[in-house]
Amino acid sequence: MKTPLVTSGRLGAVAMILAAAWALFIVPSGGDMTLILSGSIYCAFGILALSLALIWGFGGILSFGQTAFFGIGGYAYAVLALNIGNTTTAALLAILVAAAMAAAIGYFMFWGRLGDVYLGVITLVLSLILYRFINQTSGSEWKIGKAPLGGFNGIPSTPILNDLDGNPLWPEDIYVLCVVALILSYILCRLLLATYFGRVVVALRENELRAELLGYDTRLYKLGVFSIAGGLAGLAGVLFANCVFVSPNMFSLTTSSQLLVWVIVGGLGTLAGPVMACFLLLAFSAWLGTLNAGVWLDPNLVMGLVLTLFVLVLPKGILPLMRSGCDRALAAFRRPAPAAEPGEAMIGEEAR
């Protein structure tokens, strides 16, 4: 049977293109400064969500401490930019530093063949310890070159990226940069998953032993995708450093928890879902903040309830739910209902 013209996957793609066009062309000309500033931060976090969605949802690598690479990227950018002055070089180097750090940790984890539980714990502990370490670097003896690490306060003097003439970019430019970076990161992940490499990574998620018996060196593929995700998280960190400034909170347990919630709520095994959930939940918590409803709206309490409820009730997340709902509505619309063919599920899979 022919694939119908309208599918949930295609509708999703159209929605994404419309959203990207709105964010790129309509928002900047609107001149709403609050939207532009928070939009930049949302996009930086969106890239972070994408990095976890890639390794967890497609590689099956449960990293609870993806924020470690987020923070390392941010700090590396700040320190390098303060020392060498050229912010573009610093940004590129910072992404490499984050990827290299992920590769180093990944070597120990994947060559040790650690199981899921151990892997999650080691990555989380990495971010916890970085948080404690950076927090105590407030003294003047803690500086790298010209850059003081600043302990709990972070580095408020984090330089902003420069344009070609060496002047710092305006917030509007940073916003466009963040949106473009998010779109490019998404496309990069999609392309990566379509390559031979990406297909092997998905194969490992499905059955690592079988992939290994078929002759793939699973450690190498895992290391590759983990380093790429580390670099993405580093990019998110660089952008975040340009929107706000670097501080130990980038490593904090709160950030790790938020990231986890985005991916679970958005839908494991999708790329757009976690980004969508990231935007929705950030907007939701900003809205909760304006309610002024007293102590019961403790952010930890709300986040914990969301996480627990999703794991218990809706472990698949929102996007897969929307997709199957949309498919059912389309099928009902195209009466008489076509008999489900074995190939249909595959089409849905590919449209992710």
Partner 1 sequence: MDYVAIILLQTAISIANLVLISAGLAVIFGMMRVINFAHGEFLMLGGYTAVIATQHGVPLLVSCFILAPVLVGLVGLVVEYLVIRHLYGRLLDTMLASWGVSLILIGLVTVAFGNSVSGISTPFGSLSIGRFSIGFYELFLVAVTLVMVIAGYLVMRYSRVGLIARATMQDRDMAASLGVNQRAVYRATFVTGAALSGLAGALIAPIAGVVPTIGASYLAKCFITVISGGPAIIAGTLSASGLLGGVGGIMTFLATPVLAEVALLAAAVVLLRVLPQGITSKFFRRSQ
**Contacting positions for partner 1 (CB under 8 A):** 62, 105, 108-109, 111-118, 120-122, 124-126, 128-129, 132-133, 135-136, 253, 257, 260, 264, 295-296, 298-309, 311-312, 315
Question: Among residues 12 and 317, whose Cβ is nearest to partner 1?
Answer: 317
**What's the min distance (Å) between Cβ of 140 and partner 1?**
16
Q: Is the separation of the CB atoms in 201 and 35 below 8 Å?
A: no
Tell me the C-alpha distance between 273 and 262, whole Å: 8
Question: Among residues 164 and 312, whose Cβ is nearest to partner 1?
Answer: 312
Tell me the C-alpha distance between 139 and 284, whole Å: 37
Question: Among residues 71 and 159, whose Cβ is nearest to partner 1?
Answer: 71
Question: Among residues 38 and 257, whose Cβ is nearest to partner 1?
Answer: 257
- Tokens representing 14 are 């159209």
For 66-77, b where at least 16 C-beta lie within 10 A, e where not — what string?
Answer: bbbbbbbbbbbb
**What's the min distance (Å) between Cβ of 252 and partner 1?**
8
Question: Among residues 67 and 242, whose Cβ is nearest to partner 1?
Answer: 67
Q: Is the separation of the CB atoms in 267 and 92 below 8 Å?
A: no
Cis peptide before 336 (omega within 30 of 0): yes
Which amino acid is located at 202 in the chain?
V
Question: Among residues 11 and 314, whose Cβ is nearest to partner 1?
Answer: 314
**What's the min distance (Å) between Cβ of 274 and partner 1?**
14
**What's the min distance (Å) between Cβ of 46 and partner 1?**
21
272 CB burial (10 A radius; 0-12, 13-18, 19+): buried
**What's the min distance (Å) between Cβ of 250 and partner 1?**
15
Question: Among residues 229 and 263, whose Cβ is nearest to partner 1?
Answer: 263
Query: Following CA atoms 181, 234, 38, 167 in sequence, which dihedral angle do they give, to the nearest 10 degrees?
Result: -70
- Tokens representing 30 are 């609107």
**What's the min distance (Å) between Cβ of 119 and partner 1?**
10
- Tokens representing 340 are 């489900």
Tell me phi and psi for residue 5, to 5 degrees: -65, -40
3-state secondary structure of 147: strand
Which amino acid is located at 178 in the chain?
C
**What's the min distance (Å) between Cβ of 189 and partner 1?**
22
